[in-house]
């Protein structure tokens, strides 16, 4: 177990429920019940379910090599249904890919889609450009200052792991816009509150994250899978 909030049995149930949902979607496709105009939205929903299952599997303590294989499979499905307005998903998929050392060509594909959409963001730009070795435009604005201003300040001015520890300890959970308080719901929506962007930043900057190993929201095993 990696998650410190919910027990293994919860994640077993979560994954079982999502697996059933995917089976129903696949059955609908096989029976020709999905109208043409609904194909892409349904595939988007399916890829998101798989993405949350990946996070739940990480939370449960599953093998990282298996999680990477799952990520590579989800990545292709996500690229097909890419939505530039879904910032959280772009940041999450980009960050997980960096932690798992996905091929640079994959991150280049994400970067090109972001450039094409003209949805410029400082953090996405930093992560993608640093990973693929491209020049980084530091003048781009940070789209969500409340959530990520402290990460930007950490990258530009600190890079001290103790400061990142404080960010995760004091502000990370309360700044979340997505799935906030989901661990208290009874509908199995919680899959983990991991700060994958923190892991990606640490990996890119080569920071010693020893003091972050037992932090509740820091994906230490993902960062250190190799």
pLDDT for res 146: 86
Enumerate the domain spans of the chain: 8-223
Question: How much is the average pLDDT of 87-111?
Answer: 96
Angle at alpha carbon of residue 126, lines to 191 and 87, rounded to 5°:
40
Binning pLDDT at 50, 70 and 90, where does residue 137 land? confident
Burial of 32 (0-12, 13-18, 19+ CB in 10 A): exposed
pTM of the model: 0.94
The rounded mean pLDDT for the chain is: 93
Rounded Cα gap, residues 92 and 216, in angstroms: 17
Indicate if the pLDDT at residue 175 is higher than 70.
no
pLDDT for res 100: 98
Q: pLDDT (tens digit, 9 = 90+) per residue, 27-68?
A: 999 999 999 999 999 999 999 999 999 999 999 999 999 999
Indicate if the pLDDT at residue 205 is higher than 70.
yes
Distances in whole angstroms, Cα of residue 100 to Cα of each of 43, 64, 76, 203, 224: 24, 9, 15, 10, 9
Question: How close are the terminal C-alpha atoms of the chain, in Å?
Answer: 19
Give the DSSP letter of residue 182. Answer: G
pLDDT for res 176: 64
Q: What is the share, in percent, of the chain residues with pLDDT greater than 70?
A: 95
Rounded Cα gap, residues 29 and 72, in angstroms: 22
């Amino acid at each position: 177990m990696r998650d410190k909030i919910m027990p293994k049995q919860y994640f077993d149930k979560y994954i079982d429920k999502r697996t059933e949902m995917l089976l129903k979607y696949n059955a609908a496709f096989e029976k020709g019940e999905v109208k043409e105009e609904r194909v892409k939205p349904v595939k988007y929903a399916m890829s998101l379910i798989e993405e949350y299952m990946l996070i739940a599997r990480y939370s449960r303590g599953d093998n990282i090599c298996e999680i990477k294989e799952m990520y590579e499979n989800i990545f292709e499905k996500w690229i097909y249904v890419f939505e530039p307005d879904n910032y959280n998903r772009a940041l999450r998929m980009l960050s997980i890919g960096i932690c798992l050392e996905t091929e640079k060509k994959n991150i280049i594909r994400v970067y090109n889609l972001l450039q094409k959409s003209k949805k410029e963001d400082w953090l996405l730009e930093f992560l993608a450009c640093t990973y693929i070795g491209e020049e980084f435009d530091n003048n781009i604005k940070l789209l969500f200052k409340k959530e990520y201003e402290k990460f930007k300040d950490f990258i530009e001015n600190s890079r001290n792991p103790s400061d990142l520890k404080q960010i995760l300890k004091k502000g990370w959970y309360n700044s979340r816009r997505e799935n906030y308080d989901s661990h208290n719901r009874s509908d199995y929506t919680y899959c983990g509150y991991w700060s994958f962007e923190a892991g990606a930043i640490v990996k890119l900057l080569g920071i010693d994250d020893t003091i972050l190993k037992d932090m509740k929201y820091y994906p230490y095993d993902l960062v250190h899978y190799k």
